[in-house]
Amino acid sequence: MPHVSLQLYYHSDVTGDETAETVLALPVDATKGFYRIDGIPFYAPGLACGDVVQATPDKPGAPLVFRRLLSASGHSTIQVFVMDDVNDAAILRELFQDLGCATASTGSGYFVMDVPVHVDYVPVKKQLDDYMFGGILDYAEPCISNRHQY
């Protein structure tokens, strides 16, 4: 099945503005507007890869707009901000990929990480905390599944 683009609109606590991003999704039941997110949301709070959502256009022929979460996937989304110029974001991404987490980058010192439901979050969180306390990165947890609560 081909991917579709979903528009996510939300209020940014960082900028204080309404903002938007686009994520790819796969139809689950397009007649009902049900889609499974098939990527890592870069900024949207409360959503993760694999979540099933409802999305409908504002008018016929318009882009699909996220309406509500139907079913959480159990994945978690982590936002990572590289704080110094010495450490390469690509190397940090590889480290987290070795722990079982997919990553996506904007090409800058920022990347997002998908922690799948089957991955133990304890070693991932320990690594994040070690690097944070070392001044290498900072991170946010905009979507932590019940499986990854600590």
CATH number at residue 100: 3.30.70
Please give the average per-residue pLDDT across 107-115, as a whole number. 91
- 142 and 80, same structural domain? yes
- On the question of pLDDT at 87 being above 70, the answer is no
Please give the average per-residue pLDDT across 115-137, as a whole number. 96
Look up the pTM and report it. Answer: 0.92
What angle separates helix 89-98 from helix 121-133, to the nearest 10 degrees? 150
- 89 and 46, same structural domain? no
Amino acid at 85: D
Closest CA to 37 of 10, 84, 72: 72
More confident residue, 14 or 103: 103
pLDDT in tens, 141-150: 999 999 998 7
Count: domains in the chain: 2
- 66 and 113, same structural domain? no
Q: What's the domain range around 30?
A: 4-71
- 66 and 94, same structural domain? no
Grouping H, G, I as helix, E, B as strand and the rest as coil, residue 96 is helix
